[in-house]
Amino acid sequence: MGAAPLDGVTVVSLEQAVAAPFATRQLADLGARVIKIERPGGGDFARHYDATVGGMSSYFVWLNRSKESLTLDLKQPAAQPVLARLLERADVFVQNLAPGAADRLGLTGLRARHPRLITCAISGYGSSGPYAQRKAYDMLIQAEAGLVSITGTEEAPSRVGISVADIAAGMYAYSGVLTALLARAASGAGTAIEVSLFDALGEWMGAPAYYTGYGGSEPPRSGAAHATIAPYELFVSQDEIEIYLAVQNGREWTRFCEHVLERPELAEDPRFASNAMRVLHRPLLHGLIADVFARLPAVEILDRLERADIACARRNSVAEFLDHPQLAGRDCWRTIGSPAGPLRALRPPVRMHGIDPVMGPVPSLGQHNQAILEELGFDPATISVWRKDQVI
């Protein structure tokens, strides 16, 4: 395998929870050295969300492999020279501190002192505007960005079941850092990157925003169905297997009627002649399809759908996903180390020919304190008290 693409790049991150750790883990997977600065005592609070992975948090394990953990209480004067020396040697500095915290810690104006440094600030709402000082968490951003209003059923709105605002912001931060590294290779100068959860999720809300802004009404909450495409939803077989299908165009609709429903006349029915008409008559359409599926076992339905080349899927549980044949047959799993022992982890989704991802162990809190301090030229014995309750 070839060298890791970001080998030689050093990232210093003041990070917690999801968005920034997700961004820096992508960089670590590409070979960057990521030094994660954590609060002494408790560390990143995502360490304590749950204890399901051998006593560790599922969130923390997911987001923090391949990193080095250094505990520093940045409110203590003794920590400042350590951070300063780290930043002298860093290529990238990432932080998602609470609003105003970076200013209080003297972390503004870094690029004036370090012109080649790439800084990346991840926040809830950005550094300006009336919401700039608000605390923000994923569910709150989903609500403010309108995602909750179009998610769920007609009776009850719902948040999305994963941290989509955090993940969106983390991915934009990651791509922004990669772009800045590419630009620096040409110009020699770093840059400042700013990403907010609100803006990131706002970009993901593009289709419903256009639909609402120009159509005059929001897409309706439609549960597991697509709000503006039909049939694009869940049906149940005779043996009570839940099957999703998606018909995207007129050609597929004709094949679906002929080969799956075995009712070719429906393809010419004016009530279903276009997607817009099928959405308008969704309850009637759903009932017609549901009646056919209720008389057939799942294996027969899936066979008909495959022969008609109609996209479909079974509704899997998370446990069924973990055992999915598409994962088992494509070298998708790796073993990583952790304080709890070896763990199974999915490899990153981007595959580059000749390059294997770097998937190192999950660090324990402060695991790399002594090594990093000595590397920076500090004697750990002379820099001992970082907080009243924490000694290195």
Fold of 10-205+331-391: Rossmann fold (3.40.50)
Mean pLDDT of 307-333: 93
Q: Which of 32, 103, 46 is nearest to 74 (CA)?
A: 103
Q: Which of 283, 282, 296 is nearest to 240 (CA)?
A: 296
The residues with which 123 forms a beta bridge, in sequence order, are 196
**What single-letter DSSP state applies at residue 76?**
S
CATH topology identical between 10-205+331-391 and 232-315: no
Q: Which of 221, 213, 212 is nearest to 148 (CA)?
A: 221
Residue 29 tokens, joined: 């997977």
Q: Please check the confidence at residue 392 and state whether its pLDDT lies above 60.
A: no
- For residue 386, the model assigns a pLDDT of 47
Residue 78 tokens, joined: 């003794």
The residues with which 120 forms a beta bridge, in sequence order, are 94, 193
Contacts of 258 (CB under 8 A, 6+ apart): 264, 267, 308
What are 274-287's pLDDT values in tens digits? 999 999 999 999 99
d(CA 137, CA 44): 15
Q: Please check the confidence at residue 334 and state whether its pLDDT lies above 80.
A: yes
- Token pair 């992975």 is at which residue? 53
Confidence class of residue 102 from pLDDT cuts 50, 70 and 90? confident
Confidence class of residue 382 from pLDDT cuts 50, 70 and 90? low
Confidence class of residue 100 from pLDDT cuts 50, 70 and 90? confident
Domain ranges of the chain: 10-205+331-391, 232-315
Longest dimension (CA), the chain: 85
Mean pLDDT of 328-340: 92
CA geometry: angle 21, 25, 27, nearest 5 deg: 125
Mean pLDDT of 242-271: 95
CB contact at 8 A, 89 and 80? no
SS (H, E, C) 339-367: CCCCEEEECCCCCECCECCCCCCCCCCCC
CB contact at 8 A, 181 and 114? no
Q: Please check the confidence at residue 387 and state whether its pLDDT lies above 90.
A: no
- For residue 161, the model assigns a pLDDT of 93
> What percentage of the chain carries pLDDT values higher than 70?
97
Out of 31-40, 85-94, 147-156, 372-381, pick the least confident. Answer: 372-381
What are 199-225's pLDDT values in tens digits? 999 999 999 999 999 999 999 998 888
Mean pLDDT of 273-300: 96
- For residue 370, the model assigns a pLDDT of 93
Catalytic residue among 48, 114, 226, 324: 226
243: phi then psi, degrees, rounded to nearest 5: -125, 130
Residue 88 tokens, joined: 């002298």
CB contact at 8 A, 344 and 335? yes
Mean pLDDT, the chain, integer: 93
Confidence class of residue 390 from pLDDT cuts 50, 70 and 90? very low
- For residue 3, the model assigns a pLDDT of 82
- For residue 2, the model assigns a pLDDT of 66
What CATH class has 232-315?
alpha beta
- For residue 391, the model assigns a pLDDT of 40
What are 123-143's pLDDT values in tens digits? 999 999 999 999 999 999 999
CB contact at 8 A, 146 and 219? no
Residue 368 bears catalytic tag: no
Query: What's at 301, amino acid-wise?
Result: I
Q: How many residues belong to the chain?
A: 392
